[in-house]
Homo-oligomer: A and B are copies of this chain.
Amino acid sequence: MNVKDTKPPPGAIELERFLPYRLNVVAEAVSRALSRIYAERYGITVPEWRILATLGQYGRMTAKDIGAHSRMHKTKVSRAVAHLAGNGLVERMSNADDLRESYLMLTGDGQKVYCSIVPQAIEFAEGLFDGIPACDREMLERLLHQLEMRANQMSKEGE
């Protein structure tokens, strides 16, 4: 009998079914598996990949908007952008209307890297859903959305 099959004592949490724990474990496993695609071949970190993906999708954005959209702290964005710019994958264009901010976009090289990662990332994400019917995927999307809303709401409620 596997230890995981034992019932927890009364008044304890069964961690294997505790959603916050489950979400974190799964998210980390998925993230780790995905990172193999871009980390080994291109030496790109997770925050860097997020920025590439955001710019690849939206074309041009400020650092602030990237942070807000991809839920990353501004210092994380700042450093990842600095690194990507140093590697010639991202370029900055200052905004003449507001010199505090810069627009960021992929360079030609950045586009190339992004475009070579995308099909593999999509294939990976598809592979995750292997054997899962489409209606379940939609349900998962909906559930994740609700959970995120609830979590953010409950986080605020505690002031």
Contact = CB atoms under 8 A, between A and B. Distances in A.
Nearest to A126: B19
A39 to B, nearest CB: 11
Contact of A28 (B13, B19, B71, B150): B71
Contact of A53 (B15, B59, B150): B15
Contact of A26 (B3, B136, B147): B147
A33 B139 contact: no
A24 to B, nearest CB: 5
Number of copies: 2
A37 to B, nearest CB: 8
A23 B125 contact: no
B26 A58 contact: no
B25 A30 contact: no
Interface string A16-35: 01111111111111111110
Contact of A19 (B69, B115, B125): B125
Across the A-B interface, give the 8 residue pairs with the lowest CB-CB distance, nearest first.
A27-B27, A33-B155, A23-B27, A29-B151, A33-B151, A30-B151, A8-B57, A26-B148
Given A27-B28, A128-B154, 15 more contacts: A3-B58, A9-B59, A11-B118, A13-B118, A18-B125, A19-B128, A19-B129, A21-B70, A23-B26, A25-B148, A26-B148, A29-B151, A32-B151, A127-B154, A128-B150
